[in-house]
Amino acid sequence: MIPYSDCYIDEEDMREVEEVLRKGYVSSTPKIHEFEDAIAKFTGAKYAISLNSGTSALHACMFAIGIGQGDEVITSPITFAATSNSVLYCGGKPVFADIDAKTYNLDPAVAAEKINGRTKAIAPVHYTGQPCDMDRLMKIAKENGLKVIEDAAHSLGATYKGKLAGTFGDAGMLSFHPVKHITTYEGGMVITNDKEICDKVRLFRSHGITRDRAQMKYTPNEGEEWAGDQVMLGYNYRMTDLQAALGVSQMKKLPKFLKTRREYAAIYNEAFSKLDFVTVPYQLPGTDSSWHLYILKFNAKKLGFGRAETFAKLRKAGVGVWVHYPPVYYSTYYQGLGYKKGSCKNAEGLYDSMLTIPFYPKMSRDDLDFVIKAISSLGR
Ligand SMILES: *Cc1c(COP(=O)(O)O)cnc(C)c1O
Residue nearest to atom 6 of ligand 1 (CA): 54
**pLDDT tier at 27, thresholds 50, 70, 90:** low
Q: What is the per-residue pLDDT for 24?
A: 79
Distance (Å) from CA 180 to ligand 1 centroid = 9
Q: What is the per-residue pLDDT for 121?
A: 98
Residue nearest to atom 7 of ligand 1 (CA): 54
User: What region does 2 belong to: left with phi over 0, alpha with psi -120 to 50, or beta?
Assistant: beta
Distance (Å) from CA 160 to ligand 1 centroid = 21
Q: What is the pLDDT of residues 188-197, one digit of tens each?
A: 999 999 999 9
* Interval 288-302 mean pLDDT: 98
Q: What is the per-residue pLDDT for 225?
A: 85
Is the per-residue pLDDT at 26 higher than 70? no
Is the per-residue pLDDT at 28 higher than 80? no
Is the per-residue pLDDT at 23 higher than 90? no
Provide the pairing of β-strand 229-230 with 209-210: antiparallel
* Interval 103-109 mean pLDDT: 98
Residues within a 6 A CB radius of ligand 1: 53-55, 79-80, 82-83, 125, 151, 153-154, 175, 177, 188
Q: Which of 168, 165, 151, 150 is nearest to 81 (CA)?
A: 151
Return the best residue to mutate from 51, 55, 56, 130 for the ligand 1 pocket (most ligand atoms within 8 A of CB): 55
Distance (Å) from CA 44 to ligand 1 centroid = 22
| Whether the model pTM is above 0.85 | yes
Is the per-residue pLDDT at 305 higher than 80? yes
> Between the CA atoms of 320, 312, 379 and 292, what dihedral angle is there, to the nearest 10 degrees?
-30
Residue nearest to atom 10 of ligand 1 (CA): 82
Mean per-residue pLDDT of the chain: 96
Is the per-residue pLDDT at 200 higher than 80? yes
